[in-house]
Amino acid sequence: MPPTILQTGTDAAASGVTLDLLCGFQARQNGCVIELPHTAQRLLAFLALHDRPVQRAHVAGTLWIDSSEEHAQAALRTTLWRIRQRAQDLVATTATAMALGRHVSVDLHNAGECARRALRWGGSPRSGDVAVLCEAGDLLPDWYDDWLAIERERFRQLRLLALDALCEDFREQGRYRDAIVVGMASVAAEPLRESAHRALIRAHLEAGNRGEAVRGYELFRSLLQDQLGVSPTPELQALVLPL
């Protein structure tokens, strides 16, 4: 059974604590940026990637992998102290484990929920989901920690799948403008992804934008040839060859 995590001193929801990890790191309380050293940022980001309490020894060993166990534990205690000097609500702890404060709002979690709804994994999409997914960026793109790599790629793929699904949904509903906006966001996120280009080209065609469809195809064909030395699949070619 996981250890019980002590609640922090005040309700973080009431104090407006948010943690942004997409496009870059930022912690805020009541709209004001909380200035934190990089060691503190790494600790908060690491905890945000776990949906349950994490053993202190594991946190210290991962974040200070090149240090002795004693030094890593001391560094963790110092980092935790520095965080609490700036905001009491960000981390909850026991003697052996820690977790992100239970009411801290994390943009990565919100975007993930939006993506799962778009894929019909957790209910139907909500009105604000499209904007969240279109505007979301990569998870801490300028960080190079090994423990981030898998989660960064997992979220990137989840977002791309969700954008493709939304583009197709809007196209089938005749909402071509929305389909094109979402399709463009997907293409911008991964220019070499054929499924994104295919969905966008279909939306242009059904909206009557034949020129945009051909232009989009030619741009993708040229990019594929330049970057990978390959051509679009016959399925994609078939969409524009009759034009």
pLDDT in tens, 101-141: 988 999 999 999 999 999 987 667 888 999 999 999 999 99
Give the predicted TM-score (pTM) of the model.
Answer: 0.87
pLDDT over 80 (residue 194): yes
How sure is the predictor about 20, in pLDDT bands with cuts at 50, 70 and 90? Answer: very high
- Which of the 8 DSSP states describes residue 155? H
pLDDT over 90 (residue 203): yes
pLDDT over 70 (residue 214): yes
Domains and CATH numbers, the chain: 12-103 (1.10.10.10), 107-240 (1.25.40.10)
pLDDT over 80 (residue 12): no
Between 15 and 89, name the one with better pLDDT: 89
**Mean pLDDT of all residues belonging to the chain:** 92
pLDDT > 90: percent of the chain: 86
Look up residue 66 and give its two tokens. Answer: 């090149």
pLDDT over 60 (residue 7): no
Give the mean model confidence (pLDDT) for residues 192-200.
Answer: 97
**What is the structure's pLDDT at 122?**
62
pLDDT > 70: percent of the chain: 93
Give the mean model confidence (pLDDT) for residues 220-238.
Answer: 97
pLDDT over 70 (residue 5): no
| Phi, psi of 232, deg, nearest 5 | -60, 155
- Which of the 8 DSSP states describes residue 91? E
pLDDT over 60 (residue 9): no
- Which residue blocks in the chain are alpha helix, DSSP H? 12-15, 38-48, 56-63, 69-86, 107-118, 129-135, 146-172, 176-189, 194-206, 210-228, 234-240
Between 51 and 47, name the one with better pLDDT: 47
